[in-house]
Copies of this chain bind each other. A is one copy, B any other.
């Protein structure tokens, strides 16, 4: 099961953030999971490497106030949690559609936020929300030879000791492949790596780097749009590539996807 839970919130007082809100929402995510499934929460916290969820930053209109970002009392903001396993999706359904949040109020760090709405497009995707099975995702994927990804929040890869901030097709789809094969019931064959190296090129883009402040350290990432094109004849591999591109919506991309980095979705 794949889920993306969009949560619309309004701060009960204005609040300034010195660094990324993804880190604070990561804390909220674990806190809410703890309420509905303590053993899962512990597991998600302790797991090293791949994790079956992502957390976005807080999106919306911020004022810039001497270096800090200020969220305003009267404004609406939103964030999303995504989940890549049945257990994780179920826990999030219980969080947002059960009794887990008294007075529809969550604490983001020390500020109470009122939940004004939650979006969950059951059986599909709408905007940034969605809930569907891996089989649904596979059966709705097409065989388009052109795939455009929008990197909504700073995205970056690790390559040895290097923080690699270019959307190289091998890194983008290689990273999605690892995550897919970690959680999906039907695996995608490793042969797709050769296909990507030999046949998938970048054909159009507009991108720039952006510093993402995680609080205790910062990472450079890239934002913008990038189109990938499959060269030559299309085959089953092209369909796998489309599956991975659609999967990015739930899986996120690259490093620190549980702290707001790598929020990605396909365009068109």
Contact = CB atoms under 8 A, between A and B. Distances in A.
Nearest to A225: B208
A162 B205 contact: no
Contacts of A160: 197-198
A203 B218 CA distance: 12
Interface in A62-105: none
A117 interface: no
Interface string A120-135: 0000000000000000
A105 B203 CA distance: 40
Contact of A207 (B162, B197, B207): B207
A67 to B, nearest CB: 19
Interface of A: 160-168, 197-209, 220, 222, 231
A161 B207 contact: no
Given A162-B231, A166-B166, A166-B167, A220 B198 contact: no
A206 B208 contact: yes
A204 to B, nearest CB: 5
Given A166-B167, A198-B162, A204 B220 contact: yes
Contact of A209 (B168, B203, B220): B203
A208 B204 CA distance: 8
Contacts of A204: 209, 220
Nearest to A208: B206
A117 B205 CA distance: 37
16 contacts: A160-B197, A161-B199, A161-B231, A164-B201, A165-B203, A165-B205, A166-B166, A166-B168, A166-B202, A203-B220, A204-B209, A205-B207, A205-B222, A206-B207, A206-B209, A207-B208
